[in-house]
Structure 1
Amino acid sequence: MIKGYADLKGTSEYFSRHCEIPARKTPWFMVSPIALGTHLGDMTEADSILYRQSLSYALTHGINFIDTAINYRGMKSERDIGKVLSEMISGTRLKRDEIVISTKAGLIPGDIDAKLVPAEYLKEILLFNNIISETDLNIVEHRKHVLTPSYYQFAMEESRKHLNLDTIDIYYIHNPEISMRVLGPQVFYERLIDLFSYLEQAVLRRKIRFYGIASWDAFLVSSDHPSYISLEKIIETAERAAGRHHHFKFVQFPFNQNRSEAIRKKNQVVSGVPLTILKASDELGIYVTTSAPFDLGNLIKARDSSVLLKTVTETDGILSVMTGMRHEENVKANLGSITMHRKEDNQ
């Protein structure tokens, strides 16, 4: 496996070669304002070829942040990233400490290469091998979610193999609002203590560096909604699991012109003060990445994608925007958007 992880020295050197990109800084590394997302697309080799081409182009032209999940495209997205990273790092075109990789687990995945859809993967891999039990499943309609540490231990090892990485930079619990809907707040936060304790152990073993929550609705709905998750309670839970020096440092949620709750809805409460999720994250020392800048393509039909991207990337409090880019021409266009707007702003 590829050793190491993203750090300030490596990422700083990366952006010294790509000085036209307005990099964003955390205490641990720097990232591009857009990240290459790998959610959309078919589970085919044809789309894998497209992704590998776009990944190679992105990593050599100023995008050093890649976002994925074990369930994306039946595990193909993680495997495609692993192939590209292995080729580029072994070929000295890229260093491990220059790039940030985030992935996710929590939803039941399928494995297209093993010809297993999620229902079969659940039965033949997860249940058969006693990785989880039926009682661990939290089911809402067709979606199945788990909070059981044994599942994350298994999924993390699978992701590390797929990505060929010794250490994953950011590891998200994926859409935990599904479990919240089933368990209710009291049980949900109690279950998270065990999961956070496991993730802290994974940090100590250098399997991951940081962890967080990647959600769809959890941080955007009203506090009386069954999917609602309080960021303040999440941080309290992390402190119960690991003290004040815990490694829960990132959250992810959708943000675009159709879903603008993050800047207008004061649905989070920190120290008794109602705040938006962006303000609450800042107050609690949490870094925000956002998804779906084009609302899964719905906004592009009527609006200029470069303006949409500029609006999101320049919103205060957002570290980086996860942007689906299966095609190399989309990478070029989105890079062009952020460099063009930077030049305009400097004039």
Structure 2
Amino acid sequence: MILGNATAEGTKAYMESFADLQHCELGRTGLLVSQAGFGCYRVDVSVEEHRMALRKALQCGVNLIDTSANYGDGGSEELVGAVLEEMIAAGEAGREQVVVVSKAGYLQGQNYLLSQERKREGRPFPDLVSYGPGLEHCIHPVFLADQLTRSLARLRMERLDVYLLHNPEYYLMAAKQENVPPETARAEYERRLELAFRHLEREVEQGRIGCYGISSNTFPARRDDVTFTSLEDVLALAEKVSAAHHFRVIQLPMNLVETGGMTEANQAGGKSVLELAVENELGVLINRPLNAIVGGRLVRLADGDAVPVDVASVQTQVERLAEAERSLKEKLLAAVLEDDQEREEAADKLSAGRLLQEHWRSFSSAEHWREVQGQFLVPTVQTGIRKLLESGKLTTAAAEWVEAYVDGVNGVLPEVTAYYQWKGAEQVRAITSRAEAAAADWAGAGRASHLALRALRSTQGVSSVLVGMRRAAYVEDVIAELKETVAIKPRRAEWEALS
């Protein structure tokens, strides 16, 4: 069990030991934090590379860790607990130096199974939001108490520094789907938030958390968006619960494309959510700093290869694959597989060309394409080829077909990958050009990832930018940028120039 919590003295001493790095106050918590935090969205206790990356981050000056109960189905919190326990035991870190943030709200994986079991037992979690297959959401005190207990156990801690409601706007999203009148939905949303805040104040009193807040993707939304989470309304609820409330931290997405955190005047007096947070001395954590949504597609704000790709050549290769698949189905399969269903299944597996004909230029990003390729397309083709080879009746013509088809697939897949790298790099180059023109002290960042981080960390009100540092090399890249001194100021004009 890791005893204690982050303290003002401990975090100050930690940051003073890294004099070459800038740091920020986490609102009025009294805690000092690194300008970049270790984002745990895609890390897991089972991956040694992730363990090494977190250790390196803590050794190099990163003292804020952001995780959640649903990251890695609990494996992310387990990683944080394991690494911190090891480092504290070895005298390499002190609990008082490290700010640990976790979140609750999602029911997926283990939590979803727990929810179904409770339903069968006749004691479902109250105020449960059923959003989709395998996905529910809840911020009721009964659920929050259960989740905090589980999170602390996985983290091996007696106390969390910051506990956030994780995207509570899922209730508003579900209400929108169900055509609940906006005024009714808004009133119910505030009722649920107030219940949650009252419970979290009790958790502060009991010493299980230091403070609380909300992580919401809709803090930067337009005011007339029915899923909008209003910071001024949230603060009014916190004041209603207690004049001495412990609502101290918010988290929201913001990057060089999605600028709403600073540019969307969705608070009273024409203020943005970030400006209102500054006015109320809230800690602000920024997520998705390197993953921007551009026209409904994900763009990774990092340097990439911008070598143009011959689209017509790729299309020709795709057409050849599709023609080969038609030839297999119409002429060759009957001699290899006797059963009609087996032939149909084999043809279905060997349909990469047909699928690419429909979709190869419509994936949302290079990352999306890589996921489809690695998790579906390649395994499916391999299964189909294996089916033919194991039939024991492979004709000479079919064997020649297999060899040519495999060559065709292996030839076209890298070309599609290159296409998405090219398009992504072009988009990033346009985005970074606008950013470099917006602020003179942003222009010297050099790399796209550094520029994206610099723009955020130099903006008044941003306490820490959460970066997915899953590899030691990523940690080194972030630290290199943090060593560059940059002025912290409001910068609304700069962000408006980007939008």
- Provide the TM-score with structure 1 as the length reference: 0.89
**Contact 1:166–1:207, Cα closer than 8 Å, also in 2:** yes
Give the structure with the higher percent strand. Answer: 1
2:476 corresponds in structure 1 to 332
> Counterpart amino acid of 1:191?
R
SS of alignment partner, residue 285 of structure 2: strand
1:323 corresponds in structure 2 to 467
- Percent sequence identity over aligned pairs: 28
Whole-angstrom distance in 1 between the partners of 2:455 and 2:272: 18
Of the candidates 273, 276, 279, which is equivalent to residue 277 of structure 1? 273
1:299 corresponds in structure 2 to 301
Please give the residue correspondences for 1:73-88 in structure 2 after superposition, counting only pairs within 5 Å. Answer: 73-88=72-87
> Counterpart amino acid of 1:59?
L
> Counterpart amino acid of 1:160?
L
Whole-angstrom distance in 2 between the partners of 1:127 and 1:50: 38
> Counterpart amino acid of 1:188?
Y
2:214 matches 1:213: yes
Of the candidates 131, 156, 168, which is equivalent to residue 140 of structure 1? 131
Change (3 A) 1:151 1:281: same
> Counterpart amino acid of 2:128?
L
Post-superposition CA distance 1:244-296 (Å, at most 9, x none): 21001111011101211111110122xxx121111111223322110011016
**Contact 1:131–1:151, Cα closer than 8 Å, also in 2:** no
1:114 corresponds in structure 2 to none
Whole-angstrom distance in 2 between the partners of 1:285 and 1:173: 19
Whole-angstrom distance in 1 between the partners of 2:479 and 2:278: 27
1:115 corresponds in structure 2 to none
2:149 corresponds in structure 1 to 157
SS of alignment partner, residue 201 of structure 1: helix
Whole-angstrom distance in 2 between the partners of 1:34 and 1:249: 18
2:208 matches 1:204: no
SS of alignment partner, residue 157 of structure 1: helix
1:65 corresponds in structure 2 to 64
SS of alignment partner, residue 290 of structure 1: strand
Post-superposition CA distance 1:9-44 (Å, at most 9, x none): 101111121111101124421000000001025x68
Post-superposition CA distance 1:279-321 (Å, at most 9, x none): 1112233221100110166222434211111111111210000
1:34 corresponds in structure 2 to 36
Whole-angstrom distance in 2 between the partners of 1:51 and 1:167: 23
2:115 corresponds in structure 1 to 122
Whole-angstrom distance in 2 between the partners of 1:328 and 1:128: 45
Give the structure with the higher percent helix. Answer: 2
Whole-angstrom distance in 1 between the partners of 2:272 and 2:250: 14
CA RMSD of aligned residues (A): 1.9
What residue ranges of structure 2 are gaps of 5+ in the alignment? 176-184, 293-298, 305-424, 429-447, 488-499
Of the candidates 159, 165, 171, which is equivalent to residue 179 of structure 1? 171
1:251 corresponds in structure 2 to 250
1:10 corresponds in structure 2 to 10
**Contact 2:45–2:78, Cα closer than 8 Å, also in 1:** no
Larger-Rg structure: 2
**Contact 2:169–2:216, Cα closer than 8 Å, also in 1:** yes
Post-superposition CA distance 1:42-92 (Å, at most 9, x none): x682xx212111111111110000000000011110001110011011111
Please give the residue correspondences for 1:190-201 in structure 2 after superposition, counting only pairs within 5 Å. Answer: 190-201=191-202
- 1:180 shift after superposition: 2.6
**Contact 2:112–2:136, Cα closer than 8 Å, also in 1:** no
Please give the residue correspondences for 1:218-237 in structure 2 after superposition, counting only pairs within 5 Å. Answer: 218-237=218-237
What residue ranges of structure 1 are gaps of 5+ in the alignment? 112-117
Whole-angstrom distance in 2 between the partners of 1:67 and 1:44: 15
Whole-angstrom distance in 1 between the partners of 2:90 and 2:124: 39
SS of alignment partner, residue 9 of structure 1: helix
SS of alignment partner, residue 102 of structure 1: strand
Whole-angstrom distance in 1 between the partners of 2:465 and 2:248: 16
- 1:4 shift after superposition: 1.1
- 1:140 shift after superposition: 3.4
Paired residues, what number? 327
Post-superposition CA distance 1:154-199 (Å, at most 9, x none): 0001110111111100100001111133451101111222211110
Post-superposition CA distance 1:84-130 (Å, at most 9, x none): 0110111111111000000000011324xxxxxx5434313x54566
**Contact 1:256–1:293, Cα closer than 8 Å, also in 2:** yes
Whole-angstrom distance in 2 between the partners of 1:224 and 1:308: 28
SS of alignment partner, residue 81 of structure 2: helix
> Counterpart amino acid of 1:264?
T
Post-superposition CA distance 1:194-215 (Å, at most 9, x none): 2111100000111000100011
**Contact 1:132–1:148, Cα closer than 8 Å, also in 2:** no
> Counterpart amino acid of 1:14?
Y
